Structure 1
Amino acid sequence: MRTMKFPWFVLTALLLLLQTCKGAKSCHIWSTAGNEVQITSTFRVYCAFNLECTPSMYSASGHSAPRPQTHQKHNSTTIYLDVVNVTEDCTFSCDCKGSNRNTGNKLDSCGLDIFAGFPPDRPTNVSCVYHISETSSAVVCSWASGRNTFIINDTKLRVRTFTHNATGELGSFVFPAKGSPTVRANFTVDGSVQVISVRANVTNKLGSAETPEVKYILRDIMMPPAPELHEVDCFSRNCSIKIKQSVPTHHLDINYKEENKEQWTPHPKSVLTNGSVLVQSLQPYRWYSFRARSRLTTGLWSDWSRTVSKWTQEEAPGCALDVWYAVDHNKIRVYWKKLDTSVAQGKILDYIITVYDRNYNIISTQTANSNNQSHLVQLCLNCHVTVSARNSRGRSPPGNITIHTVKAKATLVPVINNKNVAISWTQHVTAPLPLEYVVEWFAKYQKPKALRWLRMGQNSSHVVITDMEPFVCYEGAVYVFYSDNSVDRLEFTDINTDVSVPTSGPVVIEKVVGTTVNVTWLSMEEPGGCIIKYIIYLEKNNRFFASYNVSPSQRFWVLRDLTPADYRIWMSISTAKGEGPPGQKVNFFIQQDPPLALIITFSVLITLVGVLICVYQFSAVKERIWVYFQYCMPDIPDPANSKWAKDCLKEKAKVNLHHQISISTVSETEEDLVLVDIQELPRPPLLPQISLSSDSETATQPYPHITYIKCFSHDSDSSGQTHTSSLGTNETVDYISPHDTAGMSEEEEEDLPTFFPSHSFFPEQLDLGPKLTLDAVKIDGSDFFLQ
């Protein structure tokens, strides 16, 4: 049978089509060390081109852009590049330019990725644990992988299993392992297995490493699961913890620690009773944390359980307060130090301060807030003061002090060395023996005093104070208490461990009294150290006038005999480092005193006016004044010659004024003016006033007959006219009233009160209704003054 040959041109066409669809490469690239190389190694990269062109080679590392490299020519179609001491992953590529092949598509360049790394280290610290649980058990082995290889590793655990004492091998297994830098592998074993041997192996393209074979007896590496701690119930000195275990164990370990402490304390004899453990020997009012672990009869301890925490209950404070005192503005300020948590044994609610007299009779009992560390009580000598701290469970033992009469002794001279202050004193050879010493110190310019103190034994002779802050002035004393209840006080003052220039001046408060100015000031609490002096500056009319240096112990200064002018005053502070800036400037003014003669004259005039007013209250004086006053009175116009009277005369009808008040009513629409005769009276003698009465019409009148003007409007059925009549000498005089009431009786008219009271010189202002226009009216006004 003849075999048909496949046409060669068909094969060529198929190859060209496949190359066109696939995408042809212009070159081929490779490395003498492969794709994964060891760090710091040296190798060569080759590029072989498939057509004639101008070859080029590039390299890049990290995220940098490719850079052209200077390559070497191996032959007509191949170039190469030597790579020396590679330290990281990098990429190489080749390109072909200027190809003579006439193709429609540009050929792709070629590239190579190089991964740099290390061969694996031998694994270390191989350990295996046989975890026992309620449902299943498994062996977990772990080891340290060593340094990072930066390339892919293949890690495996090779295991062989044996019966008792490794007398026979049951099988060999390989298990994958994962993790870095600690690698783990786990597997299960049959119940007949009692011994295992393990080897860890790690391999990558740069090498491989393996651990020696390690054997384990399973009963020695058994580990139960961690216990579960549940409810915690605490008293003041013990706590009961409920514990749950999925696998029964024979050993239990309980640890505890206080809040903010790192060291755990093991609790001895942790016995599980009815699912609970009682942890004893605890302290009251502490925040305790607990954890537990368990172990079978053999094997390993379990992992630690989760931590549970709770407060123990409170107890009454078990220690007395450290109490001290200081005299503050004729009062005693009692100080105490807060109890340490270990002594307070609970949350302090308040402090009870009790004052006793010398016979221990209670004078007063007061309470201070739990945040306070001092309290003011009334000043008393040879009295006793106790201070107790109280929590929810009770009071502490009382801290006692006795307010003594202190004998002042010589001043101590402390020694400042390396920011510490050393104070020494000599034990005096006296009849009573010293029982103890108390050293107190406080910031001199702080109010109230932040008092600190330290009790010393009877054999002490010096103390080193380390907590004095820099740039603060301190003072204090050493108290010596003797067995006969007497006390000595050795003072020290103006101590600063460091000093600076003050940052500002005092606040000045001035009070001007005539030509004297009383100056006080408020000093800074922290002037930068101990004050050497205060300086007062005074300006007069914007010119420097004077300055005064004042002792640092003073808070008051008096400026005397200042002349009238505008003044300005301010102050500054000086320490051992120099004078500080001026404080706020205050303006004041000294006024010119008024002349003494003017003051005397004004005082005399006021006195005379007062005397005259008092004298005028006598009636005899009033009459005498009127005698001299009537000669000075001006003429008063006569109503008979007035314009109003002349107009009334021209009326055709004579109007008769008939006085019938009891039967008439005031007209609201009609008002007529009536002309009557008015006779001028002679000036009467100075006689007492005689009242007029309607009951004695025949009595002799004190004055001649006067015809008065009286106007009425009557509503009458017979006549609406207005009448005038002249009253007889025996008739009652009626006064003009613009508001006369229609229903008023004659008796009421006759008993009208006088216009002006007799005891007042000036009449009250009256509303007389419509006004009259008079041309010439003369009115006798003597009655005004006589009444």
Structure 2
Amino acid sequence: MALAWITTLTLLLLAFVNGTKQENDWSPCAVVHPSSTLVALGSTVTASCLIRDDCPIAKGQAIRVVWKLDQRSLAEDNESDRGKPAAAVKGGWNSTVVIPSFTDTRAVLTCSILHASLSQIVGGVEIRAGFPPDVIPNLRCLTNLTKPETLLCQWDPGQETHLPTNYSLHTDIRDLSENNTYMLPPDIHHFRIPRAGFVLFSNIEIHVKAVNALGQATSKHLLLEPMSSAKFDPPNVLKFQAEPNRYGCLKLSWSLSEQQKWVKTKVSLDVRLKTANSKQWSEELVYGPLRTNQKPLELCNLLHGTEHHVKIRVRYKQSQWSDWSNNQTGVTLERAPNGRLDSWLKVSGDHRQKHFGVDMFWKISKQFRANGKNLSYIVSVRKPRGERLCVTQERHCSFRLPKGVWKVLLTARNAAGSSQPTEVPVLKRSAMPAVSEVRVIPNGERSLRVQWTVMDSFSVTGYVVEWRPLWERNASFILFDNIDRNESNTMISEGIEPYKPYEISVYPRYKNGIGFPRSVTAYSRQKAPSTAPYLSVQNRGPFRIELSWNEIPLLQRNGIVESYQIFYWNEWENVKVVNADVEKRSVVLDGLNSSSYYTAFVMVRTGGGSLNGSEVTLKTEPIDPLDIMLILISSSFGLPLFIVILVVVCYSKRHRTCFWPKIPDPANSSIKSWTTMDVVQDSPPTEAQEPSLVNLCHLSLMDVYQKTLENSDDPWFRSRDTSDLGESICGSPQAFNPGYTGSHEDSVPYATVVFDSPFPSQSSSQSHPYLRSESTQPLLEEEPKELSSPKEYQNLPLHRGQVFFRECLDEGLDDGELCTLWDEFPMLRALAMNDVEIES
């Protein structure tokens, strides 16, 4: 709105500046003529701009015109950027523009001349758009009978017109032929007709007319009786009480408000009732229209001895109901209770004793009527002597029952009398089977649906569903419901609250007793616990810490605890999680570092959420030197004992090769069983001989005197390594195969000398062939395959008279022969040099 006025003012100022101004007269440089300055929204608008030929900005050049609507260019062709050429007319130039659909409710259309790449506004006009008034809907009138009386009429505005719209209210009183018109300010949609403008009991016709620049509209005509459209004030309840000898009835006295008491007829009354313990009002009881107002009403068929609440409202004929009155309370007369009570009797203790304990519960059934306010209950036995076991105003009783009593009597009593007794059988707990499964499903925040599996036994007469709050130990809080034998579910809502635990049990009832119960714990709604347990250290060591925590208080759990999780970490390790047993409420953290600090907390989870406990700092113990000493001592005794046992086992006859391969003993080898015939198979044939055993002698060179070896000029003994000497003497593959490169410093050299007979019995003329050992054990280097067959010197045919234990020139032997043998058998030479004796 402000922008439009500023634009218009700018337009006028420019027009004044550019126009030709004379001393007493002036005229604008250009004039814009629209088809209409007030149009319907969405209609077509045409405008022309007439530019005078004496306009200074238009002299001496071709004129191009630019049209704008609130700073938006109206382009009609491709030359819009350069403006639209104006047509020359008499006295100037003319340019026209067409707006196909005018969608603005208010806009300024301007005409500008393009000059030096700039547009100069030379004329403009404001155009407004809107809608004509629509048919006025929902005309209604309401009479106010409170001083001062008025008739208030209201209507809805209908479609927005975007234009100033004026309303007028027209009335026509039929009986008086009186017409009135009431003019209203713009955009006002209600009017209060004064008391002088209508008659309460005469019909009046009312309608409303709306007018704006684009048209007018009229509402439907409303014909009414002002009294029938009146809304009364809330009435007053004077009395609500019982009459003598009128059982189940209450009398209601009422009146209209002070300003409306003059109304005496055709007033209807609406009544609502409810008992004191009920949360719902009963259905309305409509009385009227009454011929005589303010006459007391009698409300009957009410419960005896029961407190009732009442409230009322009124109206005239079919007018609008008044608001409800205030509540009033009344109590019906009492009568003796009647009907049966629902009961549930539980027997405990040893049945073999003279007396056993009984817990008995009862509740009001649908057939029972208390008929009184102060109700008490009596539990008794008919025999002996009608003894009373319990008198209470509660709905629970515990007592001792003599053995042999099979039923008790339950009686309700008030000030007016007692009910007929209800017989309750005494069914004892027996070894009857329980129901197989019980499920509890939440049904809202204050109710639970209990389901169980129906039993097929024909002896089942029904079921008892019992529930109690777990945080209350008093038996008076136990509630129950008796269920038919064919039913398998029930809805319980009495005493149920969200976030609190309840124990629900289902008992099968048999003909001769009560079966075992099946119990579950349930919540109607769960959420995260209100508090989390605090971790405490039970035991600690260098590498482990045992944590425990107390159980969360029952009313702070807010649900069934499903899990405990322990989170712990230190400065250089990631967070670790341990799941704890819900029942044990303890956990051991293993694999910790000694003398280290850890941070831990417990997270407890229920079916409705989880809660983290406070963080605690833990420290492991340092390693105790005494513990280290005990470990070392146990190791020093335990490890040697283990080694001894292992050695004993391994050196038994069956386990000799536990740690190293078995090395054959040449003295115990099969060579001892060789025959002379085997040894001398290459000797010249002699007289027939029978095979005989070969006598062997074991020789060892491991104890060769070191000094002798060092001083010896023989190349066999120049090496200080006795193992090499042994290899040379014992027929090592290196001694006889120059290409052999194997070396075993740990090998044990040995050899065997073969004799024809035991040494003491041999003569000097007997021959003793030398046999090289053919052992293939790992301690000796394995020979190449080409050396596996005996060489010529290994089994030589010896002649009698050859002796190897003397010097080469003794006994006049041939030097060459004897020394040749001596060189070929260096081991024998070593034996001679070291005076080694051969023992058979």
What is the TM-score with the length of structure 2 in the denominator? 0.43
Structure 1 or 2: more helix by fraction: 2
What is the TM-score with the length of structure 1 in the denominator? 0.45
